[in-house]
A and B are shown apart, each in its own frame.
Chain A
Amino acid sequence: MEIEFQRVGKKYESGQEALSQVSFHLRQGEMAFLTGHSGAGKSTLMKLMMMIERQTSGQILVDGVDLRTLSRRAVPHHRRRVGVVFQNHQLLLDRSVFHNVALPLQVSGADPAQIAKRVRAALDKVGLLDKEKYNPMALSGGEQQRVGIARAVVNKPQLLLADEPTGNLDPKLSAEIMNLFQEFNRVGVTVLVASHDLALVARMRHRVLTLNQGRMVNDGGFG
Protein backbone atom coordinates (compact mmCIF):
# COMPACT_ATOMS: atom_id res chain seq x y z
CA MET A 1 0.00 0.00 0.00
CA GLU A 2 1.23 3.42 -0.89
CA ILE A 3 0.56 6.41 1.35
CA GLU A 4 0.94 10.04 0.47
CA PHE A 5 0.30 12.97 2.82
CA GLN A 6 0.04 16.34 1.11
CA ARG A 7 0.18 19.30 3.50
CA VAL A 8 -2.15 17.54 5.92
CA GLY A 9 -3.43 19.46 8.89
CA LYS A 10 -5.62 18.44 11.80
CA LYS A 11 -7.14 21.03 14.05
CA TYR A 12 -9.45 19.95 16.84
CA GLU A 13 -12.60 21.82 17.72
CA SER A 14 -10.91 22.96 20.90
CA GLY A 15 -8.53 24.94 18.65
CA GLN A 16 -5.58 22.68 19.36
CA GLU A 17 -3.57 22.03 16.20
CA ALA A 18 -2.35 18.44 16.27
CA LEU A 19 -0.82 18.37 12.80
CA SER A 20 0.01 21.08 10.35
CA GLN A 21 1.38 20.99 6.83
CA VAL A 22 2.54 17.38 7.12
CA SER A 23 3.78 15.95 3.83
CA PHE A 24 5.48 12.66 3.18
CA HIS A 25 5.32 9.75 0.82
CA LEU A 26 5.50 6.15 1.96
CA ARG A 27 6.12 3.85 -0.97
CA GLN A 28 4.74 0.40 -1.39
CA GLY A 29 6.62 -2.14 0.65
CA GLU A 30 8.55 0.53 2.53
CA MET A 31 9.24 0.45 6.24
CA ALA A 32 9.55 3.65 8.24
CA PHE A 33 9.58 4.89 11.81
CA LEU A 34 7.66 7.82 13.14
CA THR A 35 9.26 9.53 16.11
CA GLY A 36 8.72 12.59 18.19
CA HIS A 37 8.02 13.46 21.80
CA SER A 38 4.66 12.61 23.20
CA GLY A 39 1.99 14.98 21.95
CA ALA A 40 3.91 15.64 18.74
CA GLY A 41 1.06 14.21 16.69
CA LYS A 42 2.16 10.61 16.07
CA SER A 43 -1.11 9.09 17.23
CA THR A 44 -3.16 11.65 15.33
CA LEU A 45 -1.29 10.79 12.15
CA MET A 46 -2.04 7.11 12.68
CA LYS A 47 -5.69 7.87 13.36
CA LEU A 48 -5.97 9.78 10.11
CA MET A 49 -4.61 6.77 8.23
CA MET A 50 -7.14 4.53 9.98
CA MET A 51 -9.88 7.03 9.25
CA ILE A 52 -10.67 7.17 12.96
CA GLU A 53 -10.38 10.90 12.50
CA ARG A 54 -10.47 13.08 9.42
CA GLN A 55 -7.95 15.75 8.52
CA THR A 56 -9.08 19.36 8.49
CA SER A 57 -6.81 20.36 5.60
CA GLY A 58 -4.64 18.78 2.92
CA GLN A 59 -4.95 15.42 1.23
CA ILE A 60 -4.20 11.86 2.18
CA LEU A 61 -3.82 9.54 -0.79
CA VAL A 62 -3.88 5.79 -0.27
CA ASP A 63 -2.91 3.95 -3.42
CA GLY A 64 -3.75 7.15 -5.24
CA VAL A 65 -7.23 7.42 -3.76
CA ASP A 66 -8.10 10.50 -1.70
CA LEU A 67 -9.43 9.31 1.65
CA ARG A 68 -11.87 12.21 1.75
CA THR A 69 -13.72 10.67 -1.17
CA LEU A 70 -14.50 7.54 0.82
CA SER A 71 -17.98 7.34 2.26
CA ARG A 72 -18.76 6.31 5.81
CA ARG A 73 -19.73 2.89 4.50
CA ALA A 74 -16.33 2.41 2.88
CA VAL A 75 -14.42 3.04 6.12
CA PRO A 76 -14.67 -0.54 7.48
CA HIS A 77 -13.41 -1.87 4.16
CA HIS A 78 -10.49 0.53 4.29
CA ARG A 79 -9.66 -0.63 7.82
CA ARG A 80 -9.61 -4.25 6.73
CA ARG A 81 -6.65 -3.42 4.50
CA VAL A 82 -4.76 -1.90 7.41
CA GLY A 83 -3.44 -3.82 10.42
CA VAL A 84 -2.92 -1.86 13.64
CA VAL A 85 -0.91 -2.64 16.75
CA PHE A 86 -1.42 -0.53 19.86
CA GLN A 87 0.76 0.07 22.86
CA ASN A 88 -2.03 -1.05 25.14
CA HIS A 89 -2.71 -3.95 22.79
CA GLN A 90 -6.56 -3.58 22.96
CA LEU A 91 -7.14 -7.30 23.42
CA LEU A 92 -10.54 -8.51 24.59
CA LEU A 93 -10.25 -10.27 27.91
CA ASP A 94 -13.52 -12.15 27.67
CA ARG A 95 -12.19 -14.55 25.04
CA SER A 96 -9.19 -16.67 24.24
CA VAL A 97 -6.10 -15.69 22.28
CA PHE A 98 -7.48 -17.62 19.33
CA HIS A 99 -10.74 -15.66 19.28
CA ASN A 100 -8.95 -12.35 19.68
CA VAL A 101 -6.83 -13.06 16.63
CA ALA A 102 -9.86 -14.38 14.73
CA LEU A 103 -11.83 -11.14 15.17
CA PRO A 104 -10.73 -9.35 11.97
CA LEU A 105 -11.59 -12.44 9.96
CA GLN A 106 -14.96 -12.87 11.65
CA VAL A 107 -16.02 -9.30 10.99
CA SER A 108 -15.15 -9.65 7.32
CA GLY A 109 -17.26 -12.81 7.15
CA ALA A 110 -14.60 -15.43 6.45
CA ASP A 111 -15.67 -19.02 6.67
CA PRO A 112 -14.81 -20.85 9.92
CA ALA A 113 -12.39 -23.41 8.45
CA GLN A 114 -10.45 -20.64 6.76
CA ILE A 115 -10.46 -18.63 9.99
CA ALA A 116 -8.93 -21.47 12.02
CA LYS A 117 -6.22 -22.02 9.45
CA ARG A 118 -5.24 -18.40 9.18
CA VAL A 119 -5.41 -17.67 12.91
CA ARG A 120 -2.97 -20.55 13.52
CA ALA A 121 -0.70 -19.32 10.74
CA ALA A 122 -0.64 -15.85 12.31
CA LEU A 123 -0.03 -17.22 15.82
CA ASP A 124 2.73 -19.41 14.43
CA LYS A 125 4.45 -16.37 12.92
CA VAL A 126 4.54 -14.60 16.29
CA GLY A 127 5.53 -17.81 18.08
CA LEU A 128 2.39 -18.29 20.14
CA LEU A 129 0.83 -21.29 18.49
CA ASP A 130 0.80 -23.19 21.79
CA LYS A 131 -1.07 -20.41 23.60
CA GLU A 132 -4.19 -20.18 21.46
CA LYS A 133 -6.51 -21.40 24.21
CA TYR A 134 -5.15 -19.03 26.86
CA ASN A 135 -6.89 -15.94 28.04
CA PRO A 136 -4.77 -12.88 27.11
CA MET A 137 -4.61 -11.99 30.81
CA ALA A 138 -2.60 -15.14 31.47
CA LEU A 139 0.14 -13.99 29.09
CA SER A 140 3.16 -11.77 29.71
CA GLY A 141 3.32 -8.23 28.32
CA GLY A 142 5.51 -9.27 25.41
CA GLU A 143 3.21 -12.16 24.57
CA GLN A 144 0.15 -9.92 24.71
CA GLN A 145 1.82 -7.54 22.31
CA ARG A 146 2.56 -10.45 19.97
CA VAL A 147 -1.08 -11.51 20.10
CA GLY A 148 -1.92 -7.94 19.07
CA ILE A 149 0.49 -8.26 16.16
CA ALA A 150 -1.00 -11.60 15.13
CA ARG A 151 -4.42 -9.95 15.11
CA ALA A 152 -3.08 -7.07 13.03
CA VAL A 153 -1.61 -9.33 10.37
CA VAL A 154 -4.15 -12.19 10.29
CA ASN A 155 -6.17 -10.43 7.61
CA LYS A 156 -3.04 -10.02 5.47
CA PRO A 157 -3.14 -6.24 5.47
CA GLN A 158 -1.24 -4.21 2.94
CA LEU A 159 -0.30 -1.63 5.55
CA LEU A 160 0.80 -2.33 9.10
CA LEU A 161 0.62 0.53 11.59
CA ALA A 162 2.06 0.24 15.07
CA ASP A 163 1.59 2.92 17.73
CA GLU A 164 4.30 2.58 20.38
CA PRO A 165 4.26 -1.20 20.14
CA THR A 166 7.24 -1.59 22.47
CA GLY A 167 6.24 1.05 24.99
CA ASN A 168 5.94 -1.30 27.95
CA LEU A 169 8.58 -3.85 26.98
CA ASP A 170 12.19 -4.37 27.94
CA PRO A 171 14.88 -3.84 25.26
CA LYS A 172 15.23 -7.50 24.37
CA LEU A 173 11.50 -8.01 23.82
CA SER A 174 11.32 -4.70 21.98
CA ALA A 175 13.96 -5.85 19.55
CA GLU A 176 12.07 -9.11 18.99
CA ILE A 177 8.88 -7.19 18.21
CA MET A 178 10.72 -4.90 15.79
CA ASN A 179 12.22 -7.91 14.06
CA LEU A 180 8.72 -9.26 13.57
CA PHE A 181 7.69 -6.05 11.83
CA GLN A 182 10.75 -6.29 9.66
CA GLU A 183 9.77 -9.81 8.66
CA PHE A 184 6.34 -8.67 7.57
CA ASN A 185 7.94 -5.83 5.66
CA ARG A 186 10.16 -8.31 3.87
CA VAL A 187 7.13 -10.02 2.30
CA GLY A 188 5.93 -6.70 0.91
CA VAL A 189 3.77 -5.16 3.61
CA THR A 190 4.18 -1.39 4.04
CA VAL A 191 5.06 -0.77 7.68
CA LEU A 192 4.95 2.41 9.75
CA VAL A 193 5.97 2.19 13.41
CA ALA A 194 5.51 5.10 15.81
CA SER A 195 8.07 4.97 18.60
CA HIS A 196 9.91 7.33 20.87
CA ASP A 197 12.63 4.79 21.57
CA LEU A 198 15.26 6.60 19.49
CA ALA A 199 18.07 4.17 20.24
CA LEU A 200 16.02 1.23 19.04
CA VAL A 201 14.87 3.13 15.97
CA ALA A 202 18.42 4.05 15.08
CA ARG A 203 19.51 0.43 15.30
CA MET A 204 16.81 -0.68 12.87
CA ARG A 205 18.31 1.40 10.03
CA HIS A 206 15.11 2.42 8.28
CA ARG A 207 13.70 5.69 7.17
CA VAL A 208 12.71 7.94 10.10
CA LEU A 209 10.01 10.58 10.06
CA THR A 210 10.15 12.99 12.98
CA LEU A 211 7.28 15.12 14.19
CA ASN A 212 7.64 18.10 16.45
CA GLN A 213 4.57 19.96 17.65
CA GLY A 214 2.57 18.73 14.69
CA ARG A 215 5.15 19.50 12.04
CA MET A 216 7.34 17.13 10.09
CA VAL A 217 10.83 18.28 11.03
CA ASN A 218 12.89 15.43 9.67
CA ASP A 219 12.32 12.92 6.90
CA GLY A 220 15.45 10.95 6.38
CA GLY A 221 17.50 7.90 7.11
CA PHE A 222 18.31 6.28 10.40
CA GLY A 223 17.20 9.00 12.79
Chain B
Amino acid sequence: MAQKPNQRGATRESIKATKHNWPTRTTFSPKQYLRQHQATLAESFMRLVSYPLASVMTVMVIAIALSLPGGLYVLLKNVQSVTDQWEQQSVITLYLFPNMEDTQALALSHRLSAQDDIASVEYISKEEGLRYFEQSSGYEQIMSALPENPLPIVLRVIPKQAVDITTLSSLQALRDTLAAEKEVDHAELDAQWLQRLANILSFGQRFVYALSVLLVVAVLLIVGNTIRMAVESRRDEVLVMKLVGATDAYIRRPFLYMGFWFGVLGGFFASLCILLLSWWVSAPAERLIDLYQSGFELQSFNADEIVLCLTISAFVGVSGAWIAVNRHIANIELQ
Protein backbone atom coordinates (compact mmCIF):
# COMPACT_ATOMS: atom_id res chain seq x y z
CA MET B 1 0.00 0.00 0.00
CA ALA B 2 1.28 3.39 -0.90
CA GLN B 3 0.52 4.95 2.43
CA LYS B 4 2.06 3.49 5.50
CA PRO B 5 -0.87 2.50 7.66
CA ASN B 6 -0.84 4.06 11.08
CA GLN B 7 -0.87 2.07 14.30
CA ARG B 8 -4.41 2.86 15.37
CA GLY B 9 -6.05 1.39 12.30
CA ALA B 10 -7.67 2.98 9.32
CA THR B 11 -9.21 6.35 10.14
CA ARG B 12 -11.51 8.39 7.99
CA GLU B 13 -8.56 10.62 7.15
CA SER B 14 -6.32 7.80 6.08
CA ILE B 15 -9.09 6.31 3.98
CA LYS B 16 -9.63 9.63 2.25
CA ALA B 17 -5.93 9.99 1.68
CA THR B 18 -5.69 6.65 -0.10
CA LYS B 19 -8.86 7.08 -2.07
CA HIS B 20 -8.44 6.61 -5.80
CA ASN B 21 -4.89 5.69 -5.20
CA TRP B 22 -4.82 2.14 -6.45
CA PRO B 23 -1.54 0.51 -5.83
CA THR B 24 -0.94 -2.12 -8.44
CA ARG B 25 2.52 -2.84 -7.11
CA THR B 26 4.04 -2.32 -3.73
CA THR B 27 7.08 -0.08 -3.83
CA PHE B 28 10.10 -2.16 -4.70
CA SER B 29 12.76 -2.47 -2.04
CA PRO B 30 15.82 -4.54 -2.95
CA LYS B 31 16.60 -5.22 0.68
CA GLN B 32 13.14 -6.53 1.39
CA TYR B 33 13.17 -8.52 -1.83
CA LEU B 34 16.46 -10.18 -0.94
CA ARG B 35 15.30 -10.88 2.57
CA GLN B 36 12.16 -12.57 1.28
CA HIS B 37 14.14 -14.69 -1.13
CA GLN B 38 16.64 -15.66 1.51
CA ALA B 39 13.87 -16.68 3.87
CA THR B 40 12.10 -18.67 1.15
CA LEU B 41 15.33 -20.41 0.15
CA ALA B 42 15.92 -21.57 3.72
CA GLU B 43 12.26 -22.39 4.30
CA SER B 44 11.94 -24.49 1.17
CA PHE B 45 15.05 -26.45 2.17
CA MET B 46 13.56 -27.05 5.60
CA ARG B 47 10.41 -28.36 3.95
CA LEU B 48 12.49 -30.85 2.00
CA VAL B 49 14.16 -31.92 5.21
CA SER B 50 10.83 -32.28 6.96
CA TYR B 51 9.77 -34.97 4.48
CA PRO B 52 13.12 -36.79 4.35
CA LEU B 53 12.03 -40.05 2.74
CA ALA B 54 10.07 -38.50 -0.13
CA SER B 55 12.78 -35.88 -0.71
CA VAL B 56 15.63 -38.39 -0.67
CA MET B 57 13.78 -40.61 -3.12
CA THR B 58 13.11 -37.78 -5.54
CA VAL B 59 16.69 -36.55 -5.27
CA MET B 60 18.08 -40.03 -5.87
CA VAL B 61 15.88 -40.60 -8.91
CA ILE B 62 17.14 -37.32 -10.33
CA ALA B 63 20.73 -38.22 -9.45
CA ILE B 64 20.49 -41.60 -11.19
CA ALA B 65 18.81 -40.08 -14.23
CA LEU B 66 21.59 -37.51 -14.50
CA SER B 67 24.53 -39.78 -13.70
CA LEU B 68 23.77 -42.03 -16.66
CA PRO B 69 24.46 -39.43 -19.38
CA GLY B 70 27.17 -37.94 -17.17
CA GLY B 71 28.93 -41.30 -16.90
CA LEU B 72 28.69 -41.93 -20.62
CA TYR B 73 30.06 -38.48 -21.23
CA VAL B 74 33.09 -39.28 -19.09
CA LEU B 75 33.58 -42.59 -20.90
CA LEU B 76 33.44 -40.82 -24.25
CA LYS B 77 35.82 -38.15 -23.06
CA ASN B 78 38.35 -40.82 -22.09
CA VAL B 79 38.06 -42.73 -25.35
CA GLN B 80 38.55 -39.47 -27.17
CA SER B 81 41.60 -38.54 -25.16
CA VAL B 82 43.11 -41.99 -25.78
CA THR B 83 42.58 -41.74 -29.51
CA ASP B 84 43.77 -38.14 -29.56
CA GLN B 85 47.11 -39.18 -28.12
CA TRP B 86 47.35 -42.32 -30.20
CA GLU B 87 49.65 -41.34 -32.99
CA GLN B 88 50.88 -43.73 -35.60
CA GLN B 89 53.10 -43.37 -38.57
CA SER B 90 50.84 -42.90 -41.53
CA VAL B 91 51.36 -44.65 -44.84
CA ILE B 92 49.69 -44.01 -48.16
CA THR B 93 50.14 -46.95 -50.50
CA LEU B 94 50.00 -46.13 -54.21
CA TYR B 95 49.29 -48.99 -56.62
CA LEU B 96 50.39 -47.92 -60.10
CA PHE B 97 48.83 -49.06 -63.34
CA PRO B 98 50.19 -52.49 -64.44
CA ASN B 99 51.51 -51.09 -67.73
CA MET B 100 53.67 -48.51 -65.95
CA GLU B 101 57.37 -48.66 -66.81
CA ASP B 102 60.03 -48.54 -64.10
CA THR B 103 61.34 -45.23 -65.41
CA GLN B 104 57.96 -43.51 -65.20
CA ALA B 105 57.41 -44.94 -61.74
CA LEU B 106 60.81 -43.75 -60.55
CA ALA B 107 60.17 -40.29 -61.92
CA LEU B 108 56.91 -40.13 -59.97
CA SER B 109 58.67 -41.40 -56.87
CA HIS B 110 61.28 -38.62 -57.12
CA ARG B 111 58.69 -35.96 -57.75
CA LEU B 112 56.62 -37.03 -54.76
CA SER B 113 59.54 -37.25 -52.35
CA ALA B 114 60.34 -33.63 -53.15
CA GLN B 115 56.86 -32.57 -51.98
CA ASP B 116 56.65 -30.61 -48.70
CA ASP B 117 54.09 -32.78 -46.97
CA ILE B 118 55.84 -36.04 -47.77
CA ALA B 119 58.69 -37.38 -45.70
CA SER B 120 59.83 -40.20 -47.92
CA VAL B 121 58.75 -42.54 -50.69
CA GLU B 122 59.66 -46.19 -50.76
CA TYR B 123 59.82 -47.81 -54.18
CA ILE B 124 58.66 -51.42 -54.48
CA SER B 125 59.24 -52.90 -57.88
CA LYS B 126 57.12 -55.71 -59.33
CA GLU B 127 59.80 -58.26 -58.46
CA GLU B 128 60.17 -57.06 -54.91
CA GLY B 129 56.45 -57.14 -54.57
CA LEU B 130 56.34 -60.71 -55.77
CA ARG B 131 59.03 -61.71 -53.30
CA TYR B 132 57.18 -60.10 -50.38
CA PHE B 133 54.00 -61.72 -51.44
CA GLU B 134 55.48 -65.20 -51.74
CA GLN B 135 57.15 -64.87 -48.36
CA SER B 136 54.11 -63.65 -46.55
CA SER B 137 51.33 -65.59 -48.19
CA GLY B 138 52.86 -68.99 -48.91
CA TYR B 139 51.26 -69.09 -52.36
CA GLU B 140 54.56 -69.78 -54.09
CA GLN B 141 53.22 -72.53 -56.32
CA ILE B 142 50.30 -70.49 -57.47
CA MET B 143 52.46 -67.50 -58.25
CA SER B 144 54.99 -69.54 -60.18
CA ALA B 145 52.17 -71.14 -62.13
CA LEU B 146 51.15 -67.74 -63.47
CA PRO B 147 52.62 -66.83 -66.87
CA GLU B 148 53.76 -63.40 -65.71
CA ASN B 149 54.01 -61.31 -62.55
CA PRO B 150 50.51 -59.87 -61.96
CA LEU B 151 51.62 -57.40 -59.32
CA PRO B 152 51.85 -53.66 -60.02
CA ILE B 153 54.61 -51.32 -59.00
CA VAL B 154 53.88 -49.98 -55.52
CA LEU B 155 54.99 -46.70 -53.94
CA ARG B 156 54.83 -46.50 -50.16
CA VAL B 157 54.44 -42.81 -49.39
CA ILE B 158 55.21 -41.72 -45.82
CA PRO B 159 53.59 -38.33 -45.15
CA LYS B 160 55.21 -35.95 -42.67
CA GLN B 161 52.04 -35.88 -40.56
CA ALA B 162 51.43 -38.79 -38.28
CA VAL B 163 47.94 -40.15 -38.39
CA ASP B 164 45.48 -39.42 -35.63
CA ILE B 165 41.92 -38.19 -35.33
CA THR B 166 42.86 -34.58 -35.95
CA THR B 167 45.06 -35.13 -39.01
CA LEU B 168 42.88 -37.79 -40.56
CA SER B 169 41.01 -35.46 -42.87
CA SER B 170 44.12 -33.71 -44.24
CA LEU B 171 45.75 -37.10 -44.85
CA GLN B 172 42.63 -38.22 -46.65
CA ALA B 173 42.91 -35.13 -48.84
CA LEU B 174 46.53 -35.97 -49.58
CA ARG B 175 45.51 -39.50 -50.52
CA ASP B 176 42.91 -38.10 -52.89
CA THR B 177 45.41 -35.82 -54.66
CA LEU B 178 47.84 -38.71 -54.98
CA ALA B 179 45.12 -40.92 -56.38
CA ALA B 180 44.56 -38.29 -59.05
CA GLU B 181 48.11 -38.68 -60.41
CA LYS B 182 47.89 -40.23 -63.86
CA GLU B 183 50.28 -43.08 -63.03
CA VAL B 184 48.26 -44.10 -59.97
CA ASP B 185 45.62 -46.75 -60.27
CA HIS B 186 44.60 -46.87 -56.63
CA ALA B 187 45.71 -45.09 -53.45
CA GLU B 188 45.09 -46.36 -49.97
CA LEU B 189 45.52 -44.63 -46.64
CA ASP B 190 46.30 -47.14 -43.99
CA ALA B 191 43.99 -45.64 -41.41
CA GLN B 192 40.80 -47.56 -41.75
CA TRP B 193 40.78 -48.49 -38.10
CA LEU B 194 41.07 -44.82 -37.24
CA GLN B 195 38.28 -43.92 -39.60
CA ARG B 196 36.08 -46.50 -37.98
CA LEU B 197 36.96 -45.25 -34.53
CA ALA B 198 36.10 -41.70 -35.57
CA ASN B 199 32.74 -42.91 -36.82
CA ILE B 200 32.08 -44.86 -33.67
CA LEU B 201 33.00 -41.82 -31.59
CA SER B 202 30.63 -39.52 -33.43
CA PHE B 203 27.93 -42.15 -33.14
CA GLY B 204 28.67 -42.39 -29.43
CA GLN B 205 28.52 -38.65 -29.08
CA ARG B 206 25.11 -38.42 -30.66
CA PHE B 207 23.91 -41.33 -28.61
CA VAL B 208 25.00 -39.57 -25.42
CA TYR B 209 23.37 -36.32 -26.52
CA ALA B 210 20.07 -37.99 -27.33
CA LEU B 211 20.14 -39.93 -24.09
CA SER B 212 20.94 -36.73 -22.18
CA VAL B 213 17.98 -34.93 -23.71
CA LEU B 214 15.66 -37.81 -22.86
CA LEU B 215 16.88 -38.06 -19.29
CA VAL B 216 16.78 -34.29 -18.77
CA VAL B 217 13.15 -34.39 -19.90
CA ALA B 218 12.63 -37.24 -17.44
CA VAL B 219 14.08 -35.10 -14.65
CA LEU B 220 11.79 -32.25 -15.70
CA LEU B 221 8.81 -34.57 -15.36
CA ILE B 222 9.98 -36.01 -12.05
CA VAL B 223 10.44 -32.57 -10.53
CA GLY B 224 7.19 -31.37 -12.08
CA ASN B 225 5.25 -34.25 -10.61
CA THR B 226 6.82 -33.91 -7.18
CA ILE B 227 6.09 -30.19 -7.12
CA ARG B 228 2.56 -30.78 -8.33
CA MET B 229 1.99 -33.07 -5.37
CA ALA B 230 3.59 -30.53 -3.05
CA VAL B 231 1.21 -27.83 -4.31
CA GLU B 232 -1.70 -30.22 -3.89
CA SER B 233 -0.73 -31.02 -0.33
CA ARG B 234 -0.53 -27.32 0.46
CA ARG B 235 -3.78 -26.47 -1.27
CA ASP B 236 -5.33 -24.84 1.81
CA GLU B 237 -2.29 -22.69 2.32
CA VAL B 238 -2.24 -21.55 -1.30
CA LEU B 239 -5.94 -20.76 -1.08
CA VAL B 240 -5.60 -18.68 2.08
CA MET B 241 -2.54 -16.89 0.73
CA LYS B 242 -4.48 -15.94 -2.37
CA LEU B 243 -7.33 -14.63 -0.24
CA VAL B 244 -5.11 -12.41 1.85
CA GLY B 245 -3.56 -10.88 -1.25
CA ALA B 246 -0.51 -12.94 -2.14
CA THR B 247 0.68 -12.40 -5.70
CA ASP B 248 1.15 -15.42 -7.94
CA ALA B 249 4.88 -14.79 -7.82
CA TYR B 250 4.86 -14.97 -4.04
CA ILE B 251 2.92 -18.23 -4.04
CA ARG B 252 5.11 -19.68 -6.75
CA ARG B 253 8.38 -18.80 -5.09
CA PRO B 254 8.69 -21.52 -2.41
CA PHE B 255 7.84 -24.16 -5.00
CA LEU B 256 10.40 -22.84 -7.45
CA TYR B 257 13.00 -22.97 -4.70
CA MET B 258 11.91 -26.50 -3.92
CA GLY B 259 12.54 -27.38 -7.57
CA PHE B 260 15.88 -25.62 -7.30
CA TRP B 261 16.87 -27.73 -4.31
CA PHE B 262 15.78 -30.94 -5.98
CA GLY B 263 17.84 -30.00 -9.03
CA VAL B 264 20.95 -28.94 -7.15
CA LEU B 265 20.91 -31.93 -4.80
CA GLY B 266 20.21 -34.30 -7.69
CA GLY B 267 23.08 -32.77 -9.67
CA PHE B 268 25.36 -32.97 -6.64
CA PHE B 269 24.69 -36.66 -6.06
CA ALA B 270 24.96 -37.39 -9.77
CA SER B 271 28.43 -35.77 -9.78
CA LEU B 272 29.33 -37.76 -6.69
CA CYS B 273 28.18 -40.97 -8.40
CA ILE B 274 30.30 -40.23 -11.45
CA LEU B 275 33.37 -39.40 -9.37
CA LEU B 276 32.99 -42.62 -7.36
CA LEU B 277 32.41 -44.66 -10.48
CA SER B 278 35.46 -43.19 -12.23
CA TRP B 279 37.56 -43.88 -9.17
CA TRP B 280 36.29 -47.44 -9.00
CA VAL B 281 37.09 -48.27 -12.63
CA SER B 282 40.29 -46.24 -12.79
CA ALA B 283 42.72 -49.00 -11.68
CA PRO B 284 41.66 -51.71 -14.17
CA ALA B 285 41.16 -49.14 -16.92
CA GLU B 286 44.66 -47.79 -16.48
CA ARG B 287 46.16 -51.27 -16.47
CA LEU B 288 44.32 -52.00 -19.69
CA ILE B 289 45.42 -48.80 -21.37
CA ASP B 290 49.01 -49.31 -20.22
CA LEU B 291 49.18 -52.44 -22.34
CA TYR B 292 48.91 -50.27 -25.41
CA GLN B 293 50.33 -46.97 -24.43
CA SER B 294 51.98 -45.33 -21.48
CA GLY B 295 51.32 -41.94 -19.99
CA PHE B 296 47.57 -42.26 -20.07
CA GLU B 297 45.64 -40.88 -17.14
CA LEU B 298 41.97 -41.66 -16.64
CA GLN B 299 39.89 -38.50 -16.68
CA SER B 300 36.94 -37.99 -14.40
CA PHE B 301 34.50 -35.12 -13.89
CA ASN B 302 36.54 -31.95 -13.46
CA ALA B 303 35.45 -28.87 -11.53
CA ASP B 304 34.04 -27.12 -14.60
CA GLU B 305 31.96 -30.13 -15.49
CA ILE B 306 30.62 -30.46 -11.94
CA VAL B 307 29.59 -26.81 -12.01
CA LEU B 308 27.97 -27.34 -15.41
CA CYS B 309 26.13 -30.42 -14.15
CA LEU B 310 24.85 -28.51 -11.10
CA THR B 311 23.80 -25.55 -13.23
CA ILE B 312 21.91 -27.68 -15.70
CA SER B 313 20.20 -29.70 -12.99
CA ALA B 314 19.27 -26.57 -11.01
CA PHE B 315 17.85 -25.01 -14.17
CA VAL B 316 15.91 -28.14 -15.01
CA GLY B 317 14.61 -28.32 -11.44
CA VAL B 318 13.36 -24.75 -11.48
CA SER B 319 11.84 -25.19 -14.96
CA GLY B 320 10.01 -28.37 -13.94
CA ALA B 321 8.67 -26.62 -10.86
CA TRP B 322 7.65 -23.60 -12.91
CA ILE B 323 5.61 -25.65 -15.35
CA ALA B 324 3.88 -27.62 -12.59
CA VAL B 325 3.17 -24.61 -10.38
CA ASN B 326 1.88 -22.34 -13.10
CA ARG B 327 -0.59 -24.88 -14.31
CA HIS B 328 -1.71 -25.68 -10.80
CA ILE B 329 -1.90 -22.42 -8.88
CA ALA B 330 -4.35 -20.86 -11.31
CA ASN B 331 -6.77 -23.71 -10.63
CA ILE B 332 -6.84 -23.18 -6.89
CA GLU B 333 -9.63 -20.77 -6.04
CA LEU B 334 -12.19 -20.65 -3.29
CA GLN B 335 -15.20 -22.63 -4.42
A-to-B contact residues, CB < 8 Å: 1-2, 28-29, 47, 50, 52, 63-65, 70-71, 73-74, 76-81, 84, 90-92, 94, 103-104, 107-109, 111, 121, 151, 153, 155-158, 184, 187-189
Cβ-neighbour of B334 out of A47, A63, A109 (below 8 A): A47
- Chain A interface, DSSP helix/strand/loop, else mixed: loop
Given A77-B22, A156-B5: A107 touches B12 (CB 8 Å cut-off): no
Q: How far is the CA of A52 from the CA of B35 in the complex (A)?
A: 30
Q: Most B CB atoms within 10 A — which of A47, A80, A84?
A: A80
Chain B 1-38 residues near chain A, CB threshold 8 A: 1, 5, 7-12, 14-15, 18-20, 22-26, 29, 32-33, 35-36
What is the bound-complex CA distance between A155 and B32, given in angstroms? 18
Contact A108 B245 (CB under 8 A): yes
Q: For the side of the interface on B, what is the size category?
A: 35 or more
CA distance A1 to B239 in the complex (A): 24
Q: Report yes or no: A103 in contact with B239, Cβ–Cβ below 8 A.
A: no
Residues of A within 8 A of B239 (CB): 90
State whether A155 touches B244 (Cβ < 8 A). yes
Whether, in the assembled complex, B230 has its beta carbon less than 8 Å from a beta carbon of chain A, the answer is: no
6 intermolecular pairs with C-beta atoms under 8 Å apart = A29-B12, A50-B243, A63-B19, A74-B24, A107-B241, A188-B12
| B5 CB to nearest A CB, Å | 4
B247-303 interface (Cβ within 8 A of A): 247-248, 250
Since A29-B15, A104-B244, A107-B241 are in contact, a sample of 16 more A-B pairs with Cβ atoms closer than 8 Å, ordered by chain A residue number, is A50-B243, A52-B334, A73-B247, A76-B248, A77-B26, A78-B22, A78-B245, A81-B1, A84-B243, A90-B239, A108-B1, A109-B33, A111-B32, A155-B5, A156-B5, A188-B11
Q: Which of chain A's residues have a CB closer than 8 A to the CB of B247? A: 73, 76, 107
B29 contacts which chain A residues (CB < 8 A)? 109
- A112–B18 alpha-carbon span in the complex (Å): 24
CA distance A71 to B32 in the complex (A): 25
Judge whether B246 is part of the interface by a CB distance below 8 angstroms: yes
Contact status A77-B245, CB under 8 Å: yes
Within the complex, what minimum Cβ distance (angstroms) separates A2 from chain B? 8
Does B87 lie at the interface of the complex (its beta carbon under 8 Å from any beta carbon of A)?
no
Q: Does B229 touch A at the CB level, under 8 Å?
A: no
The answer on a CB contact under 8 Å between B243 and A28 is no
Which residues does chain B contribute within 8 Å of A107, judged by CB atoms? Answer: 241, 244-247, 250
